[in-house]
Structure formats: C-alpha cells, structure tokens
Chains A and B, each alone.
Chain A
Amino acid sequence: MRLSHITKRFGANVAVDDVSLDLAPGEIVGLVGENGAGKTTLMSIAAGELAADEGTIEDRLTAGVVHQHFLLVSEFTIAENLALAMWGRNAEEIIRDSGIELGDVSRRVGDLSVGEKAKLELIKAIARHPPVLILDEPTSVLAPSEARALFEVMRRLAAAGTTVIFISHKIPEVLEVATRIVVMRRGKIVVDGGVMGAEELAEAMVERRERRDASEDGRPVRGGPAVEPAALRIAGLHVHPGEIVAIIGVAGNGQSELAASLRDSLRGQVAHIPEDRARDGLIAQMTIAENIALAEPRWRPREAAHRAAALIERFIIRAQSPLQRAGSLSGGNQQKVILARELERQPRIIVAAEPTRGLDIESTRFIHDELRAAAGRGAAILLITSDLDEAFALGDAIHVIYRGTLSARLTPGEAAVQAPMLMAGVGSRESGAGA
C-alpha cells in the first residue's frame, strides 16, 4: 500500500501536509508525534474513513481500525457486539480465531474493564483478517501487563503478514514493539526509519527550540530572582506577579483537572480562559454584552452594552453589535470576547488553557500580545498549553506535566533540552503518584 503526496486541510489548518508513506506486509510501524501532528488524520485517510484533499493511494488495502475511543454498545453483551460487527459468525469462534482471551461472551460490555473493552475492539478489528491493522493509541487505557499481551498479538499478526500501524506517543512502547518508526510533526513526516534510541526519537518528535531572545520580540527581559511573593502557589508550582509560567505536556496528563481545581478552589479570584471553548467558553444564547457582564458585580444593560462596544473595538472583535448573540461569532472572535471579559477584571491571576488552539495566526498573535501585556501589568499567568511554540514564546518558566505530576520548574533553556523526554515519561522520576 502506497500513500503519495497526501494533503488534508481542516479550514485554514493543514493537518496532513504532502505526506508520502509506503507500507510493506509484516511491518510493525510505530507512528509517533505530538498531539495534532496529523497521525490520526493520516491513518483515517489510509483507512478510507476520510478523503484526502490532494494525493493518491495506490494498492489500497482494507484496513481494520481500532479507534482511540471505543465504538461499542454498552448495553449489549460481548457476543451481541461481535454480531453487530460480523453478523452470522459464532462469537466464541471469532475470539478463538483472534488468539485473544476474553472469557464469557454473555457478559454485558458496560460491565467490562477498559482493558477488556480494548481487547474486544481489537478482536472486532482483526476478525476480518484485514491486511492492514491500525491501532490508535491502544495502550492509553491498558495496564502494563495488558499492553505486553497486546504487543504479543501485534507481533503474531505481523509474522502472519499483516501490516500493523501503531499510533502512540509513548516512546518506550514504540521502541519495544515497532520494527520501523515514523515520526510526524506539524503534518509532515520528519523521520522514517528503523530502530533508534529513546533520546533521538524524543528529539525528533519535539523540535529542539532555542529560546528566543527577549529582545527579539521586543519584550523586556524580566530576569533575576523574583522578589515579590508568588500570587499563585500550589504544590510544586508558584507563579509570581508579572510572570508567565507555562505548563506543557501531552493532552490528558492532568491539565484539565489542574485548571478545574484552580477554578473551584479560587472561585472569583482567578480569570480563566477555559480549554474547551465550544462547551465552556461563552454562553452562546446570550449577547456579547451579557457574556462580558457575567464577571461584573452589577448588571445595567445599557452600561454593559457601551462597555462591550468599547471592548469590541479595543480587542478588534468582528461583531456587528454588542447585542449580537455570542454563539454567532467565529471561534477566534469568541475567544477574544472571553479574553476581553477576563482581562477586564484586572485579575491578579490568569489561568489560560490552550488560549490559541485552532485560531489563525492573527488572533494568536493578538492573544499572545494581550497575555504579555497583562503580565506586564503585574498579573501572574499560568499558561497551560500543548503548543510548545506557545510555551517557549510566552513562558518565563516551564513545567512539564506527566501523569498528573509536575516536573521541577525549568528555565526555557532547560526545558528545550529536557521537555521532550519529560513529556514522554522517559527518564522521569515518578514519585509514586499514580493519578
């Protein structure tokens, strides 16, 4: 199977950028990269679930896909779920064929452990003996022993001639099982080759970035030891007034929980830019003026409309009127409304989670400038981001979050060296904190 010059765009965002990839039978391809590097999109195109905007696929083969999220009917038994996938075949026989053990087939899927559900998904995918099998982050929910059992199945399938593609961001696992490693970054394949060392792989995944000199982007250097007491201080983390501390990490390592715990424990004292803009950002049914006034102690409709109009102008929000429904704005403009509201509070502490995710360059730059300006006015800013460029562009200090645990406070220089390894959990000293 040969993918050539595949390009896929989502709006202005190029998810897969002119990628070519040959797949040979019997390979176990470890496809690695940061979140948003384009791994899943590329594989969806290979599996025929998504159409490419450009490029061709030669010798297309059927691919069995195990998705990151389970596609199972919880109310059905194992046997019923298999019947949905493969009508007419005996469930126990399908399972025996797969070589995977899964106990009693009359159990309800909703009662299974995540490990068992993952196995069931895998059984579904290989029941048709597809020549290509794509596994999207299959180990993220598995215990180490379950992951090893999965690797055994992968090796057996490969030995029988199946091409196995293993999407992961866990470097040790990829090194353990893959016979070929493909690294994607920003929609492109940057490394395609055989076995390599952990450090080499980590560096390929995450561009090594030199810290941009402060004078370069016109930001005054805020050097020296912080003299003011920290405005925000939780275990292992302190943010001083005027400082931007970035937390980076692969999504799902406790970033959302950290932001939510700050929201609940410091209600009203912290300005938030929530991560899930669509769900948590604005009240879509209410007007821009109403949304902005939510943070205010009082509500006078006319006053609020005037203030909103001023903010619309200052934050260059593309809106017809402050009385326009917030839900009718574009994503970038909604984010600017949130920013306007939160910064208007003159907050001492700002927690910004993925403030520019999915936004165009213009809005991104604007938001970065505003955050810097807020820090310049003395706000303590905690920036939670999966965009490393953003972290390095804004952060005065950086922590890496991995499995709910923060790394030591790193200078941007240190982070440029250590972050890839810490993000992948390589060489991290896990101090027993399992959550």
Chain B
Amino acid sequence: MSGLRRPTPDSRLPRIAIAIGAALLSLILLALCGIAFGHAPGELLSILISGSVGSTFALEGTLLKSVPLLLTGLSVAIAFRAGVWNIGGEGQFLAGALGAFLGARYGMAAALAASLIAGALWASIATAMRLWRNAPEVLTTILLNFIAIHLLGYAVNGPLQEASGKYPQSDVVAASLPTFGSSELHAGIVIAVVAAIGAWFLLYRTAEGLRLRASGFNRSAAKWAGVHVDAQLVRAMAISGAMAGLAGGIELLGVTHRLFERFAAGYGYAGIAVALLAQLHPLGTLASAFFFGALTTGAGELQRTAGISSTVATFGQAIVILAMIALTRRRNA
C-alpha cells in the first residue's frame, strides 16, 4: 500500500475529488441496477434528476429533505471528528422531536431550545455510561435508539395521543416554523445552514475545536499535550446529540406538525452517510446533505413514474458509504 500513498497529503483537492467520485459512482451504480428491472440507465438518471432538481416544486422537496439530513450529518461529523462513535442520531432525533412537542406550548423559541436540550441529554446517557462503566458508545447509542423509538410509540399511543384517540399520533404541535411565502419551505433551512457554519467555526476557528479534533485523532497524544480528553468527549457528545435533536424538532415544527410512531424515518442513520461523504467537514455537509436530499426526492419520483421502490435512496446511501471507504485509504497507517 505504501506505494499508493499520495505525495501531497495536505492538499484539500483530492478529498473533494474523492467525495464527488463516490457520489457519481453511486449514481452510476444505481442506474446500472435499474437495468435489472428493465429500465434504461439513462431514463432512470433523468427521472432522478428531474424529480429532484428539475422544477421549483422538486427543488423545494429536495431542500425540505436536506434540512434534517444536514443537521444529523453535522451531528455525526462533530462526534466522529472528536473520535466519538455516536450512532444514536435516530434516538436523539426522536428525543429532540418529543422535546420540541412539549416545549412548543411555551412558544417557538422554547420548542427549539427544548429539542436541542433533549437531544443533548439523550446522547449524554451514552457519555455517562462510557465515563463511568467504560461502555462503548457505539453500542449504547444504538441501543438508546430502540428505547427512544419505543418511548415515542408509547407517547403517541398514551399520554400524547390525539384528543380524538383515533390514530396513534399526537395532536398538531402548538407552534410551527414560518414558511417562505406560499411554499412549504420553512425557516428550518436557515437554522440548519447557520448550524453548519457554526459547527465549522467551532471545529476550525476555536481553541476548543482544535482540542476536540486533537482528541479525535489521537486521544493519548492529546492527553499528554494537556487536553482534558474526557471533557472533550462530554462536549462532543452533547453537541452532537443537540444537532440531531434539533433536526427532530425542526422536522416536527416545520414539516410533520404531529408526532407519530415512525417519525424518525431513518434520518439519524442517513446522517452517517451524509457526514462520511462530507469527509466529516461541516461545510462539506452542506453539499452532501443536498445530494442525499436530492437522492431521496428523486427516488420518490422514481417510485411514482417508474414503479421502483423509493428504498433505492437507502441503497444509494449504502453505496456512497462503501465507495467512500474504498476510495479513502487509511491516511495514517
């Protein structure tokens, strides 16, 4: 492998090239797989593109999908940068939505704040288990996802079920995000973009961000350099959980307006693909979330016009992750 080592490891360009390559590769593979179902590859691609960015309506759908993906992607990027394997975006997303639902009684600001706090607290359960019992967060965060899913299930079948008692869903939430004109696009997109810039600033322009990244690269060396690595773990996990929680809150306040059993719909897990394609860079997450948003919206169009299940979007995510792993070599062997 040593012969393949890139001569200019500091250059940023190859990293972006790798990400674009992985994204293109996933599109090509998707189109080729379409052949198996009797569709011309070009036809599938053109439906995907026109269905995601081909019209104002399609673009709006894509942006709507991009918002939660951007936030869960940031959540994963911050955690992974700190060397914390938070796979619990799904659970933190739900915790955030529940928090927002309860907080909405006191207004929009309270709803958003509650979603941040609920997500952070839910993630911090895993931190506590890691610090006190040395339980690996990669396991505990996943397990907390299941607990959150069932907690939400209980809530919408019990205490939070709609007044009419008809369906396992909540009443309409007491607050909702303002939208742009007559479109469905809500203010959450502004919040998400600000969050991405904020995350970039935190990681690359503050001393704490520098220490957080150092802990992620080499915990032991960071410790010797005087970094309080456990504090970094606590902080990274809380911020990561808060981002995922905010995603859940915004989805509730801007899109669904109700809680229901399958509320998370995989946004938490999709965040991993978003962050990896972005090479864990907050600004890269902007592009990568848009790509996956488009893929999801385009896949919906594929289902309507070509009869291909929209789960191909998930398939696309998986291919991107595999392609990223294949294209990035271990940098520091």
Report the minimum CB–CB distance from A355 to chain B (whole Å). 13
Contacting pair B331 A285 (CB below 8 A): yes
B225 located at the interface, meaning its Cβ lies under 8 Å from any Cβ of chain A in the complex: yes
B311 located at the interface, meaning its Cβ lies under 8 Å from any Cβ of chain A in the complex: no
Tell me which of B135-143, B163-171, B176-184, B204-212 binds A. B204-212
Report the minimum CB–CB distance from A284 to chain B (whole Å). 5
Contacting pair A283 B228 (CB below 8 A): no
Report the minimum CB–CB distance from A341 to chain B (whole Å). 7
Contacting pair B205 A281 (CB below 8 A): no
Report the minimum CB–CB distance from B158 to chain A (whole Å). 47
Which chain B positions have C-beta within 8 A of A299? 205-207, 209-210
Contacting pair A263 B224 (CB below 8 A): yes
Of the residues B206, B214, B221, B331, contact of A281 by C-beta under 8 Å: B221
Which chain A positions have C-beta within 8 A of B214? 283, 286, 290, 294
Of the residues A285, A297, A298, contact of B217 by C-beta under 8 Å: A285
Per-residue A-contact encoding for B184-217, CB less than 8 Å = 1, 0 else: 0000000000000000000011110111011001
Which chain B positions have C-beta within 8 A of A357? none
Report the minimum CB–CB distance from B273 to chain A (whole Å). 23
B interface majority secondary structure:
helix
A358 located at the interface, meaning its Cβ lies under 8 Å from any Cβ of chain B in the complex: no
Of the residues B10, B207, B221, B226, contact of A283 by C-beta under 8 Å: B221
Contacting pair A296 B220 (CB below 8 A): no
Contacting pair B332 A327 (CB below 8 A): yes
A interface majority secondary structure:
loop
Of the residues A279, A291, A296, A323, contact of B207 by C-beta under 8 Å: A296
Contacting pair A272 B224 (CB below 8 A): yes
Within the assembled complex, what's the spacing in Å between the Cα atoms of A341 and B225? 9
Contacting pair A282 B207 (CB below 8 A): no
Known: A267-B226, A285-B331, A285-B332. A293 touches B220 (CB 8 A): no
Contacting pair B10 A324 (CB below 8 A): yes
A55 located at the interface, meaning its Cβ lies under 8 Å from any Cβ of chain B in the complex: no
Taking CB as reference atom, which chain B residue is nearest A285?
B217
Within the assembled complex, what's the spacing in Å between the Cα atoms of A290 and B205? 11
Contacting pair B205 A301 (CB below 8 A): yes
Contacting pair A323 B224 (CB below 8 A): no
Within the assembled complex, what's the spacing in Å between the Cα atoms of A341 and B227? 13
Of the residues B9, B204, B206, B222, contact of A325 by C-beta under 8 Å: B9
B223 located at the interface, meaning its Cβ lies under 8 Å from any Cβ of chain A in the complex: yes
A56 located at the interface, meaning its Cβ lies under 8 Å from any Cβ of chain B in the complex: no
Which chain B positions have C-beta within 8 A of A144? none
Report the minimum CB–CB distance from A291 to chain B (whole Å). 8
A74 located at the interface, meaning its Cβ lies under 8 Å from any Cβ of chain B in the complex: no
Taking CB as reference atom, which chain B residue is nearest A275?
B224
A274 located at the interface, meaning its Cβ lies under 8 Å from any Cβ of chain B in the complex: yes
Within the assembled complex, what's the spacing in Å between the Cα atoms of A296 and B207? 8
B218 located at the interface, meaning its Cβ lies under 8 Å from any Cβ of chain A in the complex: yes
Contacting pair A293 B331 (CB below 8 A): no
Among B218, B222, B225, B228, the one with the most A-chain Cβ atoms within 10 Å of its Cβ is B225
A295 located at the interface, meaning its Cβ lies under 8 Å from any Cβ of chain B in the complex: yes
Of the residues A282, A294, A300, A301, contact of B227 by C-beta under 8 Å: A294
Within the assembled complex, what's the spacing in Å between the Cα atoms of A290 and B209? 11
Of the residues A267, A272, A286, A341, contact of B228 by C-beta under 8 Å: A267
Per-residue A-contact encoding for B313-333, CB less than 8 Å = 1, 0 else: 000000000000000000110
Within the assembled complex, what's the spacing in Å between the Cα atoms of A32 and B207? 50
Taking CB as reference atom, which chain A residue is nearest B10?
A325
Contacting pair A295 B217 (CB below 8 A): no
A228 located at the interface, meaning its Cβ lies under 8 Å from any Cβ of chain B in the complex: no
Per-residue B-contact encoding for A100-140, CB less than 8 Å = 1, 0 else: 00000000000000000000000000000000000000000
Within the assembled complex, what's the spacing in Å between the Cα atoms of A293 and B208? 11
Taking CB as reference atom, which chain B residue is nearest A353?
B224
Per-residue B-contact encoding for A256-295, CB less than 8 Å = 1, 0 else: 0000000100011000101000011111111100110111
Within the assembled complex, what's the spacing in Å between the Cα atoms of A334 and B110? 50
Which chain A positions have C-beta within 8 A of B221? 274, 279-283
Contacting pair A328 B213 (CB below 8 A): no
Report the minimum CB–CB distance from B36 to chain A (whole Å). 41
Which chain B positions have C-beta within 8 A of A283? 214, 217-218, 221-222, 225
Contacting pair B225 A284 (CB below 8 A): no
Which chain A positions have C-beta within 8 A of B210? 290, 293-294, 299
Contacting pair B220 A295 (CB below 8 A): no
Contacting pair B223 A263 (CB below 8 A): yes
Which chain B positions have C-beta within 8 A of A272? 224-226
Within the assembled complex, what's the spacing in Å between the Cα atoms of A279 and B331? 16
Report the minimum CB–CB distance from B102 to chain A (whole Å). 38
Within the assembled complex, what's the spacing in Å between the Cα atoms of A263 and B204? 27
Report the minimum CB–CB distance from B14 to chain A (whole Å). 14
Which chain A positions have C-beta within 8 A of B224? 263, 272, 274, 280-281
Within the assembled complex, what's the spacing in Å between the Cα atoms of A284 and B220? 12
Among B204, B209, B217, the one with the most A-chain Cβ atoms within 10 Å of its Cβ is B217
17 A-B contacts (beta carbon < 8 Å): A263-B223, A267-B228, A272-B225, A274-B224, A279-B218, A279-B220, A281-B221, A284-B332, A285-B217, A285-B332, A286-B214, A290-B214, A293-B207, A295-B225, A299-B210, A300-B205, A341-B225
Give residues in A with beta carbon < 8 Å to B. 263, 267-268, 272, 274, 279-287, 290-291, 293-301, 323-325, 327-328, 341
14 extra interface residue pairs, beta carbon distance < 8 Å, beyond A267-B228, A279-B218, A294-B225: A268-B226, A279-B220, A282-B221, A285-B332, A290-B210, A290-B213, A290-B214, A291-B225, A294-B210, A294-B214, A295-B226, A299-B206, A325-B10, A327-B332
